[in-house]
Amino acid sequence: MIPTKEWADYILKDIPEEDRLNHLWELLLKLCYIDEDNDVVETWEEKSRTRGEKGNIMDSYHFTKLHYTASNGTDLTVELTPYSHFGMGNFKLPANYIRHAANIPSEEICTTPEKYGTNGVVYASRPLILGGKSVENFGFRFENGKVVEVLADEGKEMLEALVNMDENAGYLGECALVEYHSPISMSGLVYYTTLIDENASCHLALGRGLGSNCPDPKYTFNDSVIHIDFMIGTEDMHIVGTTEDGKEVVVFDKGDFAI
C-alpha cells in the first residue's frame, strides 16, 4: 500500500491540492516511525518489545472476560479462554522463526476470544469500509457470542449480509487493545483503510480467529471465511478485566491502558 493522488484527495480535502500527495507520504512515514533522525530497525524492535511486554502483563492476570463501556452506548462483555494470549510469553517459537513485523504500522496487542462468550452492545467509533463503501454510525448486539441485531440507519443491509456470510461470520474472532492516544488516532484523520485505522483504536473482528483450533475442547475459537475488523475505541473507553479468582482490574481508563 502506497500513497496515491486519489487517496490523498479523498482524505486531505483541507490541504491545497498540489500538496496533498506529499503530505500523505509524510504522514504515513511518520506513522511508520520512518524518520531520518532515528534508526528505523531499532525503533521497530523497541516498539515490538513494548507491545510484547504489555501483552505479557495482560496474560499475567489470567483474565476470563473483559467488560467494555463507553458513553456512546457500548456495554459489552467478551469472554476469554486460558489460551487467549495477548503476549508472546506463552508461545514457543520454532528454531527457524524469523522475527518480523507482520503489520506496519502496528499499535495493537490482540487475542482470540471464546466463540460463544460475547454479550451486550458495541458501537463502532470509526467508519468501516465494505465493498469500497464507507459505513458509519453502526453497532451490533451480541447474545451468546453471536450478532443477533445490527444497529444502523445506513448500510444496515450490507452489515447484515456480512454477519450472514457463513454460519460463523456473526461471531468474534479477535479482540484487540489499542490506546486512544496512539499516533494514528492523534493524527486526527480517518484513513479509510482498515490496516491503518485499526491501529488508531481498540477493535474487534467478526469471523475467523487469530489462532487455530483451541487446544482444549472445553473452549472454542471461531472459524469463518471472513475476518473483518471494526473499530470501537473512544476517548472515554473503560475496560475492566475479571481474573480467574473473580478480582476486577481496570485495564483501560479514559481510552488508554491503566495497567
pLDDT in tens, 183-233: 899 988 989 888 899 899 999 999 999 876 788 999 999 999 999 999 999
On the question of pLDDT at 102 being above 90, the answer is no
On the question of pLDDT at 90 being above 60, the answer is no
How much is the pLDDT for 183? 86
**Radius of gyration of the CA atoms of the chain, in A:** 19
In terms of Cα–Cα distance, which of 259, 197, 243 is closest to 67?
243
pLDDT in tens, 5-20: 999 999 999 999 999 9
pLDDT band for position 93 (cuts 50, 70, 90):
low
Q: What is the mean pLDDT of residues 229-248?
A: 96
CA dist., res. 25 & res. 22, Å (int): 5
- Whether residue 44 contacts residue 56, with contact meaning beta carbons closer than 8 Å, is answered with no
pLDDT band for position 23 (cuts 50, 70, 90):
very high
How much is the pLDDT for 43? 84
- Of 38-47, 50-59, 155-164, 223-232, the least confident: 38-47
List of residues 6+ apart from 173 with CB closer than 8 A:
112, 113, 205, 206, 207, 208, 209, 210, 221, 222, 223, 224, 227
CA dist., res. 162 & res. 249, Å (int): 34
Question: Residue holding cell 483503510?
Answer: 193
How much is the pLDDT for 48? 84
On the question of pLDDT at 91 being above 60, the answer is no
On the question of pLDDT at 100 being above 80, the answer is no
How much is the pLDDT for 94? 67
